[in-house]
A and B are shown apart, each in its own frame.
Chain A
Amino acid sequence: MGLEYVRISPGFEKYMPRDYVDLVKFGQFGREVDVMQLGQFKELVEEHPMCAGCYMAYFIRIFYAALPKPEDTIVLGTAGCARLALSQAAVPFIYGNYGDTNAVASGLKRALSIRFPDKDKDVVVIAGDGGLMDIGFGMTMHSWFRGEKFTTIMVDNEVYGNTGGQESGMSPKGVQLKMAPLGKKFDKINAVQLAIDAGCVYVAKISPTNPKKIAKVVRRAIFAARKFGPTFIHAYTSCNIEYSIPTREVLADARKREKEDFKFFEWMTDEVKEYLEEIERKEKERKKQEVKS
């Protein structure tokens, strides 16, 4: 059904909330938007209670704008900052228990495949470094080992932001945080290498400084997951509160990290590469046609 469920039944437009009507009329359902046109269409997520200057909120905004098929997408999250925005988007959101995202997504994706074998239903996990690499580590890894066909996006702020700034496995070594009063004693976990070794078919690491690039990576991860297996994006989404980054310097910080340990990295299997090239070639052709007509 997909698109059909977001449509408003004839005659009901005037009773539906304005916000909902706008979503259907001027939103992303049933059409692809260009992230560079943010502000010119009704976005899937608008209001959220995340902190001013939160880079994670920015990433999430771009993520939603990049969705190839929002009317057939389900997002899963867990405890942490991200879910504050995710739960308010116009895309079904599942908030389970602590760190359970990749297990819940496994069951969900399998159920949808049983019930709708001929449809693409995109399942995307967006969880933090604590959720995916600490408390949910086993479930994250095993969903990859099993080859589950959904996308995992780690919004890595290098700290437990929502519980008040505790050390996570993704915090850099030496950083002094709550629960690490003498500074973190071990290195940041190499999540990207783990993802490759565990069987992800598409893996990317990104410091989200370029919205076009973020959108491209998100779409690639979702397309590859539909057909081939697990995909993973490791995104640096700084916590300006716990790391005391002045709001106006958040982007500069992301750029700095991009030059250091968050250099853009992308890895995929040969068949994924071939598949994505084919999709992107067709997209280009279609856009050319559109411009012509």
Chain B
Amino acid sequence: MTERKPEQRVVDPEYLILEAPRERKFITGSQAFAEAIKRANVDIAIAYPITPQSETMHLVGDLYAQGYVKDYYRAEEEYGAMSAIAGAVRGGARAFSATSGPGLLRGLEAIVSWPGHRRPAVLGVMTRVVNAPLSIQPDNVEISYLLNCGMIVLHAENQQDVFDFTLAGFVISEKVDVYIPVAVCTEGFFVTHAKGYVDLPPEDMKLPPRDPYKAPVPPTDCEIPPARIQRDAPVQKSNFMSYLIHAVWQQEIWSANNRARKWIKHYLGGLVEVVNPDAEVFIVASGCAAAQGREAQRYAEMEGLNVGLVKVKSIRPFPAQEIREVLKKAKAVIVPEHNIVGWLAKEVKAVIPNSGIVVDGPRVYGGMTLPVELIMEKIYEAFGVKKAKKTVV
């Protein structure tokens, strides 16, 4: 086998993420994931096919063939893939995997144990329908299953976000005061298979390798003490000590999740992005719905309606304070979503004192697109504007 070693030099994460010159490329969301992995100094990537995620892991496989990623294999199924990720990260490696919809749910038992085991890693989640009847189309209900496990959940609006969130994801995940995994979610097809402009730092630069000893919980590699982990195994018993140990440990996971806020602000410019903060009516949205919300905000402005946008980049930790502050004087809040349950609307309602101002929807699901017109209808309703319905023949 020939030595595969692309010429890349290690640079400071601050430089690579925040300062390095960037060049604009027109690429798909899958390519944006791969471009981030190329620069992330990943040791091992573990793949399992599921549409629409597969293309990303094909591209990561190419990176392995070119020597950018040190090890790579196609796992037996998602539970196996996500368990192997846990093993690799525990062994001190930097690891990446990605999945979609039913694959995410199949891997969920393993994934939701990553935070508790303090396993820093990045997981790409390219959303698709999970519930019957079967469909491979985008629908992001699966994100709601990730919200209570302690991991950091970022939701990318477009290809640029995918790149930025993934690359910064590794750095945030491995911060000593965080040290929990990061999910980078985005809508399958709408983002993964469509092209957008992405500003990329040079490809001959990469993050420093993972230092597994810079950690609140050490790796399992027989290189650091102590040799005897426990004389007794209290966590496995039904007694007060086991309840207490579990409780304080989980409190620490959620504190770690909370401590990620400052790093998300530092590397990604905040947990939210606000357009027109003095608006009367707000659209609060994440992922692809934020892109459509952005368009609706622009239309409304053209029509002289004072509408703002809050794009939620980080679902966990949730920007409760930021949202409460922006919505203080809002008279209505529209939450467009790509799922039937409205998980984001529930989150927003839970953090403001006057949840009655939240409009449930518009929601599309099962793979439907989210036309800007649907959001506009809600905006007109909020302002009491009567519009004759246009019939397109």
Chain A residues near B (Cβ < 8 Å): 1-2, 5-6, 19-20, 23-24, 29, 47, 49, 71-74, 76, 83-84, 87-94, 96-98, 100, 103-116, 121, 138-139, 141-142, 146
The stretch of B80-88, B262-270, B301-309, B323-331 in contact with A is B80-88
| A115-B92 CB under 8 A given contacts A84-B233, A107-B86, A121-B222 | yes
| A96-B113 CB under 8 A given contacts A74-B220, A104-B84 | yes
* Cβ-defined partner of B91 (8 Å) among A89, A90, A98, A115: A115
| Residue B393 at the chain A interface, CB threshold 8 Å | no
Contacts of B76 in A (CB 8 A): 103, 138-139, 141-142
Q: By DSSP majority rule, is chain B's interface helix, strand, loop, or mixed?
A: loop
| A111-B236 CB under 8 A given contacts A19-B231, A93-B229, A103-B75 | no
CA A111 to CA B220, docked complex, whole Å: 10
* Cβ-defined partner of B90 (8 Å) among A29, A108, A142: A108
Interface pair B228/A1, CB less than 8 Å apart: no
| Residue B232 at the chain A interface, CB threshold 8 Å | yes
| Residue B226 at the chain A interface, CB threshold 8 Å | yes
| Residue B230 at the chain A interface, CB threshold 8 Å | yes
CA A92 to CA B221, docked complex, whole Å: 8
* Cβ-defined partner of B88 (8 Å) among A47, A71, A74, A111: A111
Query: Smallest distance from the beta carbon of B191 to chain A beta carbons, Å?
Result: 28
Q: By DSSP majority rule, is chain A's interface helix, strand, loop, or mixed?
A: helix
| Residue B253 at the chain A interface, CB threshold 8 Å | no
CA A109 to CA B254, docked complex, whole Å: 30
Interface pair B222/A73, CB less than 8 Å apart: yes
Query: Smallest distance from the beta carbon of A80 to chain B beta carbons, Å?
Result: 11
| Residue B27 at the chain A interface, CB threshold 8 Å | no
8 A-B residue pairings within 8 Å (CB atoms): A74-B220, A94-B87, A103-B79, A103-B83, A110-B91, A115-B221, A139-B76, A141-B76
Interface size class of B (residues with CB under 8 A): 35 or more
CA A91 to CA B230, docked complex, whole Å: 10
Interface pair A100/B223, CB less than 8 Å apart: no
CA A108 to CA B119, docked complex, whole Å: 12
Interface pair A103/B109, CB less than 8 Å apart: no
Interface pair B90/A104, CB less than 8 Å apart: yes
CA A90 to CA B226, docked complex, whole Å: 9
Interface pair B87/A106, CB less than 8 Å apart: yes
Interface pair B91/A112, CB less than 8 Å apart: yes
Query: Smallest distance from the beta carbon of B145 to chain A beta carbons, Å?
Result: 16
Contacts of B43 in A (CB 8 A): 111, 114-115
Residue of B nearest to A95 (CB): B236
Contacts of A74 in B (CB 8 A): 220-222
* Cβ-defined partner of A23 (8 Å) among B75, B89, B117, B228: B228
Contacts of B109 in A (CB 8 A): 97-98
Interface pair B227/A6, CB less than 8 Å apart: yes
* Cβ-defined partner of B222 (8 Å) among A1, A87, A88, A96: A1
Interface pair B222/A139, CB less than 8 Å apart: no
> Which 7 pairs show the lowest CB-CB distances between chains A and B?
A111-B91, A107-B87, A107-B88, A107-B84, A103-B83, A111-B93, A104-B87
Identify which of residues 195-246 in chain B touch chain A, using a CB-to-CB cut-off of 8 Å: 220-233, 236
Contacts of B225 in A (CB 8 A): 5-6
Interface pair A90/B227, CB less than 8 Å apart: yes
Question: Beyond the given A5-B227, A112-B221, A113-B71, could you list 15 further A-B residue pairs with CB under 8 A, ordered by the A residue number?
Answer: A1-B223, A5-B222, A6-B227, A19-B231, A92-B220, A96-B117, A100-B80, A105-B87, A106-B87, A107-B83, A107-B86, A107-B89, A111-B89, A114-B70, A142-B75
Query: Smallest distance from the beta carbon of A107 to chain B beta carbons, Å?
Result: 3
Residue of B nearest to A122 (CB): B222
